[in-house]
Amino acid sequence: MSDGAQGAGSTEPVVDVLAPREVLGHEVLVQGRIFDLVRDEVDLDHSVVHREYVDHPGAVAVVVLDDHDRVLLLRQYRHPVRRELWEPPAGLLDVAGEAAQIGAARELAEEADLVAASWHTLVDYYTTPGGNNEALRVFLARDLSPVPEADRHVREDEERDIEPRWVPLDEAADAVLRGDLHNPSAVVGVLAAVASRAGGWASLRPADAPWPERRQAQD
């Protein structure tokens, strides 16, 4: 019997677990404005290796649904990939001690001029665990109202040219599966919303659900 067949019969739950290896040395190679490039010397028990990765504060994204089952997507230029991507409102968790949902609400107001009365945790993921420790939480936000004109954020740089569009959720999911959408929070968030809706939204967690994967500001 192959290892694959043996693994298929396991009764252990499929759950990611915290299992740190001993770090023998840590070096900051490049210190950036938002995140750093670092190198760790890691003891894997059977060998010692050096691993370079981006040390990232983490981020949040918001799948925003209106009363017509449409999701809000924003077109924004992303320089590393030289493309304008359709993505949900999102932003960094770069305010020390700030709750993730508060940060998400701020991004929703700043990028989309919206306030949501209903918040839930939709899905959590690591964006690039092979080379980046960024943990990202995607919220589901509903029961929307506009930010008053006098209180609206003045968008600058890439955010200045943001184009919003309300897209039926099923159409957004089709766009993901066609390969038309590539922003990871759009891909993960849209498909998670479709799956959760199919189950009557029973999978939704509270907005303040535990999130041990989030890197703490003091780390």
Q: Please, which contacts does 46-51 make with residues 24 or more away whose CB atoms are closer than 8 Å?
A: 48/24
Can you tell me whether residue 71 is helix, strand or coil?
Answer: strand
Q: How far is it, in rounded angstroms, from Cα 149 to Cα 9?
A: 59
Instruction: Say if strands 135-146 and 59-64 run parallel, antiparallel, or are unpaired.
Output: parallel
Q: Which of 41, 84, 159, 213 is catalytic?
A: 159
In contact, 123 and 155? CB cutoff 8 Å: no
Tokens of 4: 């694959």
Residue 7: its H or E element: helix 3-8
* Nearest CA among 180, 193, 150, 194 for reference residue 61: 193
190: three-class secondary structure by DSSP: helix
DSSP code of residue 132:
B
Count Cβ atoms below 10 Å from residue 73 Cβ, excluding itself.
25
- Alpha helices in 72-201, H assignment, sequence order: 100-112, 169-178, 184-198
| 22 classed as catalytic | no
Quickly tell me which residue has 């089952």 as its tokens. 69
- Catalytic residues, by residue number, are 159
